Amino acid sequence: MPSVHPAVEETADDIAEMEIRGAATIADAAARALGVQAAETDAADPEAFEAAMHAAARRLHETRPTAVSLPNALRFVLRRTEGRTVDALRESAVEAAAQFRERLDRAQDDLGRVGANRLKDGDVVMTHCHSTDALACVEAAVEDGKHIEAYVKETRPRNQGLITAERLRDLGVPVTLIVDNAAHRYLDEVDHLLVGADSIAADGSVVNKIGTSGLAVSARENDVPIVVAAQTIKLHPGTMTGHTVEIEMRDESEVIDEERRAEIGDIEVLNPAFDVTPPRHVDAIVTESGQFPPESVVWLMRDLFGEEVADPWAE
C-alpha cells in the first residue's frame, strides 16, 4: 500500500468531522494536503510517487460526497503533476497546489466584487448556513461604503449560521439572528436571499445546505431575489454527462442527543446535509467570471471542464 502522509490523514479526518468545512475551505485544505504529500514524499520512483498521490487523493475524496469543490481541487493538482523523475513530479505537484490555492483566493475576491454590485446601500440580506463566497459579496459591498443589514438563520442542525452572524458583526453589519422556522415571517423585510453552494448541476440546480430549497420557495413567494454566490469550482462537471450529485446523510446524533433519543423511544431520525434548489427558484449565480442565470451555467461548465470528468485517483 502506498504511504499516505499523516497531514493527509489529519486533513481527511478534519473534513469528515467538519472541523474543516465549507466547500471552498475544504477545497483549499485538500489542495494543501496534496501539496504536503508531494513535498514530503518518500517515493523511490515515479510510479511510487503517483501511487501515493492517488492514494492521498482517494483518502481525501472519500470524506464527504457532496461538495464538488473537493474533487475539482484534487483534479486540478493531479492533472498538473507531470515529469519523468520524482523531483520533477514533486515540484509540479507542489506548484499546482499553491496555484490552486492562490486562484481560489483570487476567485473569491473577484466573485465578491460581482456580488457586491447587486447590493445597494441600505439593503437587507437573509443568509442560510455559512458560506465564505456569500460573505465575500457582503464584505465587498461594505468596502464600497454600502450599509447592509442581515437576517441570519441559525441553520440547524449544526447552527452554522452563528459563524455567519459573527463574521458579519466583524464587518460591522447589523445582524438579526432568527431560528430557521422564522425565515418566512421576516422575508418581506428582505431585499436578497444570499446563499452559497456546495455543487451546481449542469441544469442550474443548486445543491446547498439543507433548508435552502424551502427557503427559496418562501423567497419566491415574497418576490425576494435568490442569489447564489459560488465560485466556478462549485460547478459539477459530472452532471454534464448525466451523473447526479450525491446528498450526504450525516449522523443522527447531530439532530438529537442519544439520551433524549432513548427517552423518546423507537423513532427514525434522518439527517440529510444538503438539498437541491431547482433553477426556476434561482435568480442569479454569482461567480468570479460574472453572474449567470442558472440555466446558462452549463456553457460555463463546458468552457471550463470540456467533456473531461475523469477521476485520476481512481485509475
Single residue of 4, 8, 24, 70 touching ligand RI2 by CB under 6 A: 24
* Cα gap 260→242, rounded to integer Å: 42
Report the site for ligand RI2 in 171-200 (rule: CB under 6 A): 195-198
Closer by beta carbon to ligand RI2, 26 or else 93: 26
294 binds ligand RI2 (CB under 6 A): no
Single residue of 22, 35, 71, 237 touching ligand RI2 by CB under 6 A: 22
Single residue of 209, 235, 237, 281 touching ligand RI2 by CB under 6 A: 209
Clarify whether 129 is annotated catalytic. yes
* Cα gap 179→164, rounded to integer Å: 14
Instruction: Choose, from 28, 129, 133, 180, the residue flagged as catalytic.
Output: 129
CB of 134 to ligand RI2, least distance (A): 6
Name, in order, each residue with C-beta under 8 angstroms of 22's C-beta and a sequence gap of 6 or more: 130, 131, 132, 196
Residues 245 and 236: beta-carbon distance below 8 Å: yes
Name, in order, each residue with C-beta under 8 angstroms of 15's C-beta and a sequence gap of 6 or more: 21, 26, 29, 30, 60, 63, 64, 70
Report the site for ligand RI2 in 73-132 (rule: CB under 6 A): 129, 131-132
Residues 192 and 126: beta-carbon distance below 8 Å: yes
Task: Please compute, for residue 23, the number of CA atoms within 13 A of its CA located in the half-sphere on the CB side.
Answer: 31
Residues 102 and 128: beta-carbon distance below 8 Å: no
Closer by beta carbon to ligand RI2, 161 or else 279: 161
How many angstroms separate the most distant Cα atoms in the chain?
Answer: 64
Closer by beta carbon to ligand RI2, 96 or else 207: 207
Residue nearest to ligand RI2 (CB): 196
Single residue of 5, 11, 12, 21 touching ligand RI2 by CB under 6 A: 21
Give the closest residue to 82 by CA, choosing from 99, 94, 70.
Answer: 94
CB of 160 to ligand RI2, least distance (A): 5
Closer by beta carbon to ligand RI2, 55 or else 215: 215
What is the per-residue binding string for ligand RI2 in 126-165, x denoting contact by CB under 6 A?
---x-xxx--------------------------x-----
What is the per-residue binding string for ligand RI2 in 272-291, x denoting contact by CB under 6 A?
-x------------------
* Cα gap 227→281, rounded to integer Å: 10
Residues 178 and 154: beta-carbon distance below 8 Å: yes
Instruction: Give the residue numbers marked as catalytic.
Output: 129, 198
Residues near ligand RI2 (CB under 6 A): 21-25, 129, 131-133, 160, 195-198, 208-209, 273
